[in-house]
Amino acid sequence: MPDSDRARLLSTLQVEIDDVLLTRALTHRSYAYEHGGLPTNERLEFLGDSVLGFVVSDYLFRSFPDIQEDELSRRRAALVSTVALAGRATDLGVGEFLLLGRGEQLTGGDRKASLLADVMEALIGATYLSAGFDAASALVMRIVEPLLPRVAQLSAQMDPKTSLQELAQSRGLGQVSYQVTAEGPDHDRRYHAVVTAGAVTGSGDGTTKKHAEAAAALNAWHALMSPDA
């Protein structure tokens, strides 16, 4: 990696990482295979995933003393999800530094959510090994802090039906109910779902009943969370 790219990435992340570890954190298996079996970022990803999970768990535990374990678990899952990490990698421009094989380059590997999430975890692991836990913890918080105002929404997106049911119960609305209709031929069936929670309804469409119900539940969740609900 050119020194200018290295300096730019480290400046963006606000960390110091050993040169060898930084290169390894950015090395996808496709690049490693094409260059004689270089070490990949997968072991660093494994380590970074553990650091990420612990730091986020610790933050949520200390910051939300009145939230129960199941909701804490959902919020943690949302903050460390592939979608969340890939979004932050995109925000920070990390994709351009990935070392990818030709095939991955041609198929837009630098924009693939799974690869971006993996490299974020690998960079956390590399920071931990290079600069210690405090530096890695600070990096994790810089990654997740922009997501915190939306953590409830991210959690709801991961499991809309459960989130809606629990929100409805917490407001004394009882069980939610779904009505699903389908149209179109078997090979191109479309589903439309309507969910009712108290006086609030939500609708959604999808190629499966499950997807339609999830879309409807998420819309109803947003409606219940609005100030006018």
- For tokens 């990803």, name the residue: 45
- Per-residue pLDDT at 191: 95
Which residue among 49, 104, 110, 213 is the active-site one? 49
- Per-residue pLDDT at 90: 94
Closest among 193, 41, 223 to 129, alpha carbons compared: 41
Q: How far apart are CA 180 and CA 185, in angstroms?
A: 16
Topology at the third CATH level for domain 3-150: Ribonuclease iii, N-terminal Endonuclease Domain; Chain A (1.10.1520)
78: alpha, beta or left? (left if phi > 0; alpha if psi -120 to 50): alpha
The two three-digit tokens of residue 174, written as one number? 């009882």
8 Å CB contact between 95 and 105: no
Closest among 82, 84, 60, 83 to 72, alpha carbons compared: 60
Which residue among 104, 110, 118, 121 is the active-site one? 121
Nearest-5° Cα angle at 90, 34 to 37? 15
The pTM of this model reads: 0.80
Domain ranges of the chain: 3-150, 159-225
Is 121 one of the catalytic residues? yes
Q: What is the CATH number of domain 159-225?
A: 3.30.160.20
- Per-residue pLDDT at 156: 85
- Per-residue pLDDT at 204: 95
8 Å CB contact between 184 and 108: no
pLDDT tens per residue, the chain (229 residues)? 777 888 999 999 999 999 999 999 999 999 999 988 899 999 999 999 999 999 999 999 999 999 889 889 989 999 999 989 999 999 999 999 999 999 998 999 899 999 999 999 999 999 999 999 999 999 999 999 999 988 888 888 888 999 899 889 989 998 899 999 999 998 899 999 999 999 899 999 999 999 999 999 999 999 998 877 6
Is 110 one of the catalytic residues? no
Same fold, 3-150 and 159-225: no
